[in-house]
Structures are given as structure tokens and as C-alpha cells.
Amino acid sequence: MRVKDLPKHERPRERLMASGATALADRELLAVLLGSGFRGSSAMDLAAQVIEHCGDLDGLARAEPHRLLAVPGVGPAKAARVAAAFHLVRRAQAEPEPARIANTSDLAMVVAPLLHGHTRERLVVVVCDVRGAVLRRVVLTEGGSDHTTVPVRDIITVVLTAGGAGFGMAHNHPSGCLDASDADAAATAQLAEAAETVGLRFLDHLIVTDTGWRRVRF
């Protein structure tokens, strides 16, 4: 039976979108990647043949594209698609572990490269997952030599869009002064309240200079 003849809720692609990749068997995931079958064989039949040809999933992951061409129904486009997918996985696994923020000093180290040496005030937001791993660092605003805005709504939006569970932020003082202004404290309090409202963990707000940093207390 062709995949498109299956009830919609049983098709691999639709199940993946509805329930996630973990709900699919190996051959179903590969069928989604292959996209189509060949001469009376469905995409799932073809996926099963490809896995059998390579011995197992580990063999498939290490297979060169030309080896996959030996399976009837697998042309250059399908072979390249499968090889590229597994190579992307290997690249991702080779990436260094993301920075983790366990305390305020960690936050200061993460934001410093984006703030040191700048003559205009910048606001940096760091988004983290539930374990403190950094998901994203972004320069959200850049103002004058002694002022930049703290857009609370934009900050919360950035964190939620990135799928974060928590966040910290920092801005630089090009003058070298580590003292927080009343506006800094008020904006920090407002942001902490907004974070609590939407269920996010607010890590800290720092003032950073080229020689040091200090927490903004509110």
C-alpha cells in the first residue's frame, strides 16, 4: 500500500508533525526522508530495504551515497539526501558543548565579548534552557554613549521565540562607571515581574565595563 493511500493519521509525515519524531519507527523516519517509493514499493517499503541493505541503522549512518545507489529505487537525489542528513547529525555532535550559566559570573563571561570595547551602550540578552545552557545571545538595542532602552516586551518575545526557560541581560557603560541609574533599577524590576508572569526564570541584569561588572539591584 502506498503511503498516500493510508489514513491521514497513519502517514509518517503527518504523525511526525502531530506527535514528534520519537513516535516513529526507524523505517518511518527514513521514509519521510526518502519522500517516495519506487515501482510498487511504498516509501516505507523502500526505507526497510535501505536499512536491510546497510545491515542496521548504524550501518546506514556510516554509508557513503554510492552504496545506497545499489538499492533499487534509490537514485542520486535520495542517496544524497540521506547521506546529508546523517552528516548533519555528525556535525552537530562534533559541536562543542554550549556555554552554561550557573551563576552571575558565568553570565558576565558570556556577555563580555559583546560589550567590551564599544563606545555606545548596548543591551545584550542571553537565553538559556532549563539546565542553563545558552540557546541564544543577541544584541537587542544600541543607543548613545550614556543610554540605551530596555524594551521589556521585546526581551520577553525574544526569549519565548527561542524556546528559552530563562534569561539574563547586561548592558555596558562606556564611561567605565559601574553605578546603576534609577532607570536601570526600575526597568530591571519591571522585567523581573514580566518574566514571572509568563513563567520564565530571570537570571540577572548586569552593568559591564571593560574592567569589571556589577549586578543591578532592584
Cβ–Cβ < 8 Å for 3, 34: no
66 lies in which domain range? 3-94
Q: Mark whether 88 and 109 lie in a shared domain.
A: no
Span 49-62, mean pLDDT? Answer: 92
Do residues 88 and 147 both lie within one domain? no
Q: Is residue 49 part of a domain?
A: yes
Question: Which residues contact residue 109 at a Cβ distance below 8 angstroms, ignoring those fewer than 6 apart?
Answer: 99
> Does the reported pTM lie above 0.85?
no
Q: Quick one: pLDDT at residue 98?
A: 67
Instruction: Report which DSSP code applies to 23.
Output: G
| Residue 191 neighbours by CB under 8 Å, 6+ apart | 150, 152, 155, 156, 169, 202, 205
168 plus 208 within the same structural domain: yes
Same domain, yes or no: 30 and 109 = no
**Would 121 be classed as within a structural domain?**
yes
Average pLDDT over the chain, rounded to an integer: 89
* pLDDT tens string 89-98: 888 777 666 6
Q: Are residues 124 and 77 both part of a single domain? A: no
Answer yes or no: do 117 and 178 share one domain: yes
Flag whether pLDDT at 56 surpasses 80: yes
Q: Which residue has the cell 498516500?
A: 4
Res 95: pLDDT: 61
The verdict on 203 and 160 lying in the same domain is yes
pLDDT level of residue 139 (50, 70, 90 thresholds)? very high
CATH number at residue 40: 1.10.150
Residue type, 54: C
Residue 99 covered by a domain:
no
Average pLDDT of the segment spanning 49-78:
92
Closest CA to 28 of 93, 17, 73: 17
Note the pLDDT of residue 4: 65
